[in-house]
Structure 1
């Protein structure tokens, strides 16, 4: 498997690194913006469309270029985000660059806002989970991954995923009270521990660990619910010693509760970093983000 993955990855790096025009590349955003909102077209082997909002137009496409291999492209603000994914072998290459110069893309806050709103629109409009076509599913997953991309992680990189090696599923911990969704009542199913390392200590430091109930079992306007004085509070416990936490789809790949239901070890640890005193694009959480990238792109849905 390793030898096969290496050969496929080498070919993908060439394909993703090139700016040359190719069939299925979305056209540049138009000068005259259409009405705001998502315009989406889904046909055999192709999902494409535009999203317009706040004076910006993003143009995207996801196309099967050969059996089981998909090319995803997103253009906005004169920039191109591109991914080539081999779903069967669990290999992908990602890239982002300025279209005019070919230089590596530099994230601006306005860029991240555009991609975040597009991601939310795709989650709302595309069929959820495995009901989506492969083109739509990989588009949704790639855009969600780009939303979370830290400034300090290279845009051009190869991501490989293989269950048991690249990612570890935690589907059973996403259930409580015998259910995948809904209130846990008083019956929790704790995972020990969501953890990270940072300037405050290593993975074994109790303040860098959280006792987590994974899954879709409550939402609030903060990062999560945490237990304080025997009551659930909405917010973020900043490096407390092993607090109990839950909510907002803790442990799920992607930002919050997206269109897929992948609960994995690396995604849990990423949440355990960005929801424990660090922001989404914190450099302290880079290693968790990189580790969780293959989970988001390739891990199967839990339900």
Structure 2
């Protein structure tokens, strides 16, 4: 699930809270404190993250065996998740702190959450080496960082392997890296597909043949095959072009701290990398289908 927002460089468009308007010196002092403060203890993880003077506070703790409560407060918005890892059921919600009413995820909210997600990936152990509280915090933040404006924040996410999500680990060879014995060896997965106005909402038309895994990049973009030549960029609703890039088919923004390669995450990538932006309403159904993959699918390596 992608694309990873350029969180540091992103222009902040505020969802619930307004833009800071304090004196320049105050703002500079706030920006100097940008970064992640993380506290881990038995049964929980908490902390704060500041980006360009805007703060997010977060926590994740086990409330009963195998059940974790995740909370993120940012931009005047509270995001909550009750993640039942045993039964594969999550209750997610988001509301405006001042009124308690429902709200929407906007660009500034996603940018701040993307920055938090990247910081968590840097500081927390990768994959299953992280504690359960840290893992589900990271996964929930990664999911919220990609949440479209047009999808309600209050929803239930249910996951079950073979029904809720389908693993594609075998297509991400050599731990997803295009190096060593895997250099130049292709392992295509057909098809990354989505439905939209192009092709009369026929998902069999809007398809890409994707090389899953973390392969190569050109200025942060990917490559697609045009005839016999690899070109930098993203084809706009071509019919079944071959594509490869950064962590295609992997849950989370960019290359996150977990390594779940799934069918629904591949289809979400195939939507946002094929003529649509991350928050495009045309990709809402792919995002919703991939949500349980993000939260519950096991790591491939």
- TM tier, smaller: 0.7 to 0.9
Query: Bigger relative contact order, structure 1 or 2, given CA contacts below 8 A and separation 6+?
Result: 2
Residue aligned with 1:102, SS: coil
Q: Is the 8 A contact 2:83 2:91 kept in 1?
A: yes
Matched with 1:68 is 66
Residue aligned with 2:218, SS: coil
Separation in 2, partners of 1:223, 1:203: 24
Matched with 2:248 is 250
- Are 1:181 and 2:181 matched, yes or no? no
Displacement of 1:225 after TM fit?
A: 1.6
Change beyond 3 A, Cα 1:149–1:179: closer
Matched with 1:100 is 98
Residue aligned with 2:160, SS: coil
Matched with 1:21 is none
Q: Is the 8 A contact 2:104 2:152 kept in 1?
A: no
CA RMSD of aligned residues (A): 1.6
Q: Is the 8 A contact 1:222 1:235 kept in 2?
A: no
Partner of residue 111 from structure 1, selected from 97, 109, 124: 109
Displacement of 1:82 after TM fit?
A: 0.5
Q: Alpha-carbon deviations, 1:209-247, whole Å to 9, x = none?
A: 111110122233344221124232221010112111112
Q: Is the 8 A contact 1:222 1:236 kept in 2?
A: no
Q: Is the 8 A contact 2:223 2:230 kept in 1?
A: yes
Matched with 1:204 is 204
Q: How many pairs does the alignment contain? A: 269
Residue aligned with 1:186, SS: coil
- Are 1:132 and 2:130 matched, yes or no? yes
Partner of residue 55 from structure 1, selected from 53, 56, 59: 53
Displacement of 1:116 after TM fit?
A: 1.0
Separation in 1, partners of 2:260, 2:175: 15
Displacement of 1:57 after TM fit?
A: 1.2
TM-score in terms of structure 2 length? 0.86
Residue aligned with 1:258, SS: coil
Residue aligned with 2:152, SS: coil
TM-score in terms of structure 1 length? 0.85
Structure 1: unaligned runs, 5 residues or longer: 1-31
Matched with 2:271 is 273
Shifted more, 217-226 versus 244-253: the winner is 217-226
